[in-house]
Amino acid sequence: MSEPLDLDFVVVRYPDPVLRQVAQPVTEFGPELKRTAEAMLQRMIASKGVGLAAPQVGVSIRLFITDHAQREKDGRSDRRVFINPRIENGTGDETYEEGCLSFPGIYANVTRWNRFDLVYQDLLGFEQRLTLDVTAGDFLGVVSQHELDHLDGKVFVDHLTTAQLTLVKRKLRELEKEYKAETGKAGAVLRK
């Protein structure tokens, strides 16, 4: 019998310092990993996200999940788990409007690879390779690059220009104030 899922996962928000940590590689592909992924899926669905990285629920390991079909509103769901992911053969660029569950209310255009291979391990530890092409309609290509950044302690606002940052600065300050009120600490605030 499996243990009950940890449904207490909450999404940490900017400027929580866990969002700035480089996450640890996954080495154990056992039931605990599967439970973590399942609890993250429940959290992502409840929060209406299209992607969620483990550091966003305070677990600093190299794992993220996606449900990109939800965004395309085609009625299907395409939930996936990516472990120890990396990008190979990146070419071209594509700009897309992004948001993040850790930055509620903030949206901005980010430019990333257009076409690339996403190499990763599945829940059993087997290596997989997906070729993604954003221009050809692979929204998963946008989501997966955003989530992979989280595993390296990077967040989407790091990609913004000074002009773009000016537009979201007020929202960032609000999140910083909320974090300070909740924790009594400043957190890892954006330096720019």
Active site residues: 147
Asked whether the bond before 15 is cis by omega within 30 degrees of 0, the reply is yes
Neighbours of 48 (CB within 10 A): 10
Binding residues (CB under 5 A) for Co ion: these are 100
Minimal distance, residue 49 CB to Co ion, in Å:
8
Cα 147 to Cα 66: distance, rounded to the nearest angstrom:
9
Minimum CB distance to Co ion smaller for 29 or for 60: 60
> Distance between CA atoms of 128 and 52, rounded to whole angstroms?
19
Q: How far is the CB of 110 from Co ion (least distance, A)?
A: 11
Our CB check for Co ion shows the closer of 30 and 144 to be 144
Nearest CA-CA partner of 33 in 6, 12, 66:
6
Residue nearest Co ion, CB atom distance: 100
Is the CB of 33 or the CB of 157 nearer to Co ion?
157
Q: How far is the CB of 112 from Co ion (least distance, A)?
A: 13
